[in-house]
Structure 1
Amino acid sequence: MSTRNCIVISFCVWLLAPGAKAQDGGYGCQVILCLSNPGGATQYAECVPPITKLYQDLAQGKPFPACTGAGVETSAPVSDPYFCKGSHVLDFDNGYLCRSQARTVTVDCPKEDTDTPRPPLGGPVKDIVDGQEVCKDFEFSQVQVYEKKSYIDVRIPSTGKSTRIRF
């Protein structure tokens, strides 16, 4: 273990220890230390209360807590409730669906416009690849919804660590 890791761990233990003076006014510093943990923000029991409070505060529209002397960069809150499983991507053009990467198929393509920007549901679409007409098809699946529909991104420059916090 490096000297730097020992110093960081010692400081974390001191800051989060019951009765520590920094604990009384150091909610923001506790949050930053817990988010900096490579094992996850709630790996240690001492981090569960401040991280739980952080989620509650963010859900109520409160700002990310401050910690004097610790540089932290946060994004604005983003509402992003939808996601796709695997390598599928969101396809709002076809309704709220997830679409696979295009795959070239050897079936007859429809005779419709080759400039169609999106595939019709349930069938292949013509495309031009390297000057040649090809027929592509897609798989569709249902969009998934996050339990926690909003997030902020938090970056701690001193550690180089970035974390997405969903709330």
Structure 2
Amino acid sequence: MVHGDLPERVLLVGFMASGKSSTGEELASRLGWDFKDFDTVIAARARKSVSRIFAEDGETEFRRLESSVAEDLLARGDTVVASGGGWPAQPGAWKMVAEDTMTVWLKVSPAVAVWRASKQGPTRPLLDGEDGTEQATVLLLGREAAYGRARYSLDSEQYRPPEMADEILKLMKREDKR
């Protein structure tokens, strides 16, 4: 953080279905900022869904697109950005995050993530298979250290998106007073 200033942007990280997009939209609306979601921008650039990118082009191509989108979005000011769930664990990801970016990890358990994602339909390519909770547990364990690099964390099972936006705004005000 730049001393005495609000952050240039807010980056929300966390596992799938942790509330990054819903919270990000709410927070951006309250701040009068733009909201950008990695997966939405990737799909628009590729002109196909994230699921189709994984199925047709593979995870390597998806990660290449994701890195390019991250670089672009994390250079913007007055923007709330929701990363993809796997992006923080990719090599070099955190080097793209400038010091004047407020980073927040929205925590969610594997079981709740799978339950929330199942309500959204079959849109999670890394969870295709029999036991989604087991797969989610393995993925989350592999990513927790990367998510933990965020300056702050909130439990998305304790708060709904509007309440998480409230909490982030409180954190921003506290930072502004430093």
TM-score, normalization: structure 1? 0.26
Larger helix percent? 2
TM-score, normalization: structure 2? 0.25
Higher relative contact order (CA 8 A, sep 6+): 2
